[in-house]
Amino acid sequence: MAVPTSFEVVHICGHTVSHDLSNRSADQRAGYARWLTERKCTDCWRADHRADATSTAEWLAAKRAEEQAAASAWATQFDMPELEGPEKILGWGERCRHQLVTGAYEALVTEGTWDEADWAQLEEQIRLLIRTGWWVDQRGADGADLPELLDAATDADRPTENPFR
Ligand SMILES: [Zn+2]
């Protein structure tokens, strides 16, 4: 009697699926069929993974929308100008600016030695920087470094001055 090539496998999900194992050697088919019983059938496996991917994408989209709303509300409250740059990264730039500036306020004023007047001065510098790409580039930066980053950015826009003249 020849070793069968077709196996009826009852998967862990309860579905019975007939598997053609003719592409496996005769002595491996039974072991493979047994291993399959501990797995979900292909349909269930696919459905699970689709559900995972969908919920991750939905979660990310919801989180992004929430951050975007917070960034927009913040920009309005603190009279921050609209950013300029490629349309598709405008929202991203706005979220980066919000995150970095609130981080800077926390580091310099709330936990630091700056007073509101110092901060107001920095805020003026922040308002001048409307290049969305710049904010996106600083996304990993520490809030406490914002004054230095702003100085570097505004220096680059100014013609260099000779300090010895
Ligand atoms: Zn199934």
Q: Considering the domain boundaries, does residue 32 fall inside one?
A: yes
Provide the number of structural domains found in the chain.
Answer: 2
* Residues 89, 136: Cα–Cα separation, whole Å: 8
Same domain, 142 and 100: yes
Angstrom distance (rounded) from CA 8 to CA 15: 10
Report yes or no on 101 lying in a domain: yes
Torsion angles phi and psi, residue 41, rounded to 5: -65, 165
What are the tokens at 109? 């004023």
Same domain, 33 and 84: no
Residue 73 lies in a domain: yes
pLDDT of 135 higher than 70: yes
Split at pLDDT 50, 70, 90, the class of 164 is: low
* pLDDT greater than 50 at residue 165: no
pLDDT band (50, 70, 90) for residue 107:
very high
pLDDT-derived band of residue 159, with 50, 70 and 90 as boundaries?
low
The answer on 31 and 87 residing in a single domain is: no
Cα(13) to centroid of ligand 1, in Å?
A: 5
User: How many beta carbons lie within 10 A of that of residue 133, not counting itself?
Assistant: 14
Q: Which domain holds residue 33?
A: 6-40
116 and 70: one domain?
A: yes
Report CA-CA distances (Å) from 141 to 13, 85, 93, 98, 137: 48, 20, 13, 12, 9
Residue 102 Cα to ligand 1 midpoint, Å, equals 49
Of how many residues is the chain composed?
165
Task: Identify the residue with better confidence: 160 or 121.
Answer: 121
> In this structure, are 83 and 122 located in the same domain?
yes
Near ion ligand 1, which residues have CB within 5 Å?
A: 13, 15, 41, 44
Per-residue model confidence as pLDDT tens digits over 38-75: 999 999 999 988 888 888 889 999 999 999 999 999 99
Percent of the chain at pLDDT > 90 equals 83
| 95 and 152 both lie in a single domain | yes
pTM, entire model: 0.65
- Which distant-in-sequence residues (6+ apart) come within 8 Å of 101 by Cβ? 126, 143, 146
Mean pLDDT of 75-87: 95
Are 72 and 118 within one domain?
yes
Residues 15 and 76 in one domain: no
